[in-house]
């Protein structure tokens, strides 16, 4: 593993309507490691991920991703994300949804998209609209969209949601393989086995405060 900081967070706070949602967070995320963040619903986990992705502006502090300051809504480069439930155009197939997203950056081919869909255990030639997918299938498609452009950083909020046991095993193996390829991964999970199986470092979020419990 390289001792390179992919994410640097200094004195990060977020206040909404007088409530401190994120409270003076400091953390360095190293390349090629998997970081697990645990905590109850409403503890601030998703809000932290949104801040890292530039989806919200912090009240205080600084976030750097790949040595670039994240502010004013700029999304970090080389980053794949699932935060909360994946959102897709329900009338289109899984492939067409990913094709629309891939057209934004024009970095990957149709074959790349199809290979990624297969990688998460879906059929790339399935013509059904996403509205006919099960919740587990939609979650697999969400993981496919996060990894399809081969990002160097993955931020995954409850990636195992709605997956059956086969899906969980598949995603765990996939994440460990990506780690071997030096991809840095942040994830949340309410399943202790996910955290114990996957994570090199474990943090607990409690009332907006982040504590290393590795």
**What is the reported pLDDT for 107?**
95
Whether the Cβ atoms of residue 25 and residue 13 lie closer than 8 Å to each other: yes
What pLDDT is recorded for position 2?
63
Q: Give the predicted TM-score (pTM) of the model.
A: 0.95
d(CA 141, CA 28): 30
pLDDT at 84: 82
- Residue 210 CA, chain-centre distance (Å), reads 18
**And the tokens for 190?**
């309410």
- The domains located in the chain, with CATH, are 1-78+152-214 (3.40.50.300), 88-150 (no CATH)
CB 129 within 8 A of CB 103: no
pLDDT in tens, the chain (214 residues): 468 999 999 999 999 999 999 999 999 999 999 999 999 999 999 999 999 999 999 999 999 999 999 987 899 999 999 998 788 999 999 999 999 999 999 999 999 999 999 999 999 999 999 999 999 999 999 999 999 999 999 999 999 999 999 999 999 999 999 999 999 999 999 999 999 999 999 999 999 999 999 8
d(CA 24, CA 203): 14
Give 207's DSSP letter. Answer: T
Q: How many CB atoms lie within 10 A of CB 142?
A: 24
């Amino acid at each position: 593993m390289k001792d390179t900081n992919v994410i640097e967070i200094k004195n990060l706070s977020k206040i909404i309507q007088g409530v401190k949602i994120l409270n003076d967070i400091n953390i360095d995320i190293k390349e090629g490691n998997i970081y697990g963040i645990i905590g109850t619903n409403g503890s601030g986990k998703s809000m932290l991920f949104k801040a890292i992705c530039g989806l919200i502006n912090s009240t205080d502090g600084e976030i750097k991703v790949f040595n670039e300051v994240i502010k004013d809504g700029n999304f970090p480069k080389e980053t794949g994300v699932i935060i909360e439930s994946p959102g897709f155009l329900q009338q289109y197939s899984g492939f067409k949804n990913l094709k629309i997203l891939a057209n934004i950056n024009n970095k990957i081919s149709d074959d790349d998209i199809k290979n990624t869909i297969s990688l998460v255990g879906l059929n790339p030639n399935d013509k059904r609209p996403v509205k006919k997918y099960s919740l587990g299938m939609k979650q697999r498609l969400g993981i496919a969209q996060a990894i399809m452009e081969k990002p160097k950083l993955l931020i995954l909020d409850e990636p195992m949601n709605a997956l059956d046991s086969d899906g969980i095993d598949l995603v765990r193996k996939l994440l460990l393989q990506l780690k071997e390829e030096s991809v840095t991964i942040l994830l949340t999970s309410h399943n202790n086995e996910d955290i114990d199986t996957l994570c090199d470092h474990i943090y607990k979020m409690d009332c907006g405060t982040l504590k290393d419990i590795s």
